[in-house]
Amino acid sequence: MAVADHELGHATHGSRAADCSGALQVDIMWQITKRKRAILPGLTLLLGMTLLLGLNACAVGRVVDRATEPQLRPTDGLLAFALDSNCEVGVALCRNADLSECANLGPLDHKHPLQVQQVPAGQYCLMHIDVTTPDSGTGLSDTVDEASVRCFDVEPGRLAYPGHLVYLVKPSQTTYVTVESGWDKRDTFAEQLRAAYPNLARWPVDVATLHDLRKL
């Protein structure tokens, strides 16, 4: 599925839900406005807890050094995680939505908004987001169920750019709500990549198309 011609708007309210962990669950409701952006559907915002699911123990990605030319195996590609957020954000992009094969990118913020990792080629899906809010340091965590996951492809010997991950929050009474969340493809990415990673200037960039999970 190609990038939709819309963006996510403002969350309209949050509600406290029963939870044995004492976490605060916020219901997200979206308004649709015009602009090229693809949604991150099926996300539920949990405050006060982090759900890393042990993903660090099964990471498949390796951070690319900014000073040297990456040496890829024939079956490897490069994956760029670009961020536009008022928070500190880390994500798990998992191969074929398998939580045992995840590239854990970040945490990044507005001062350091780009990271590139070397990963095995294949289909990668956004399965998890961890967020630290800018003022209070509150921990937020979003997980995506397989039915609503969005994916893109990393080709061997190429650099995949699925878009900037936009993730904006604002305070609301005793909690936070997501104001905007989605993928936004930007013409300025190539320039941003060259500035942050001059060693990758010659690498072909694939502006990856987001699609539903393909069962393999």
| For residues 103-118, average pLDDT | 95
Residue 147, phi then psi, degrees to nearest 5? -70, -25
| pLDDT at position 129 over 50 | yes
Residue with the two structure tokens 């982090």: 50
Residue 189 has what pLDDT? Answer: 96
pLDDT band at 2; cut points 50, 70, 90:
very low
The reported pLDDT for the residue numbered 113 is: 97
The per-residue pLDDT of the chain, averaged, comes to 76
Per-residue pLDDT reduced to its tens digit, 48-101: 233 343 444 468 999 999 989 999 999 999 999 999 999 999 999 999 999 999
What value does the mean pLDDT take over residues 116-144? 89
Averaged pLDDT for residues 129-138: 82
**Residue 172 pLDDT:** 82
Residue 112 in any domain: the answer is yes
Give bridge partners of residue 114 from the DSSP assignment: 82
Instruction: Identify whether the C-beta of residue 81 lies closer than 8 Å to the C-beta of residue 93.
Output: yes
- Of all residues in the chain, the percent with pLDDT exceeding 90 is 55
CA neighbours within 13 Å on the CB side: how many for 159? 22
Q: Considering the domain boundaries, does residue 215 fall inside one?
A: no
Residue 6, pLDDT above cutoff 70: no
CA 16/CA 22 separation, integer angstroms: 10
Q: Which helix (H) or strand (E) holds 124?
A: strand 122-132
Question: What pTM, to 2 d.p., does this model score?
Answer: 0.75
Instruction: Examine residue 1 and state whether it is found in any structural domain, yes or no.
Output: no
Q: Which helix (H) or strand (E) holds 95?
A: strand 88-95
Q: How many beta carbons lie within 10 A of that of residue 34, not counting itself?
A: 8
pLDDT at 204: 87
pLDDT of residue 38: 44
Within-domain flag for 168: yes
Pairing of strands 76-85, 164-172: parallel
How many independent structural domains does the chain possess? 1
Please indicate, yes or no, if residue 18 is contained in any of the structural domains.
Answer: yes
Find the mean pLDDT for residues 30-47.
Answer: 36
The residue-averaged pLDDT of 189-197 equals 95
Q: Does residue 70 lie in a domain region?
A: yes
pLDDT at 216: 79
Interatomic CA distance for residues 77 and 13, integer angstroms: 41
Look at residue 89 and tell me if it is in a domain.
yes
Residue 37 placed within a domain: yes
Residue 27 predicted with pLDDT over 70:
no
Question: Residue 23 — very low, low, confident or very high, per pLDDT cuts 50/70/90?
Answer: very low
More confident site: 179 or 208: 208
Residue 19, domain extent: 6-208
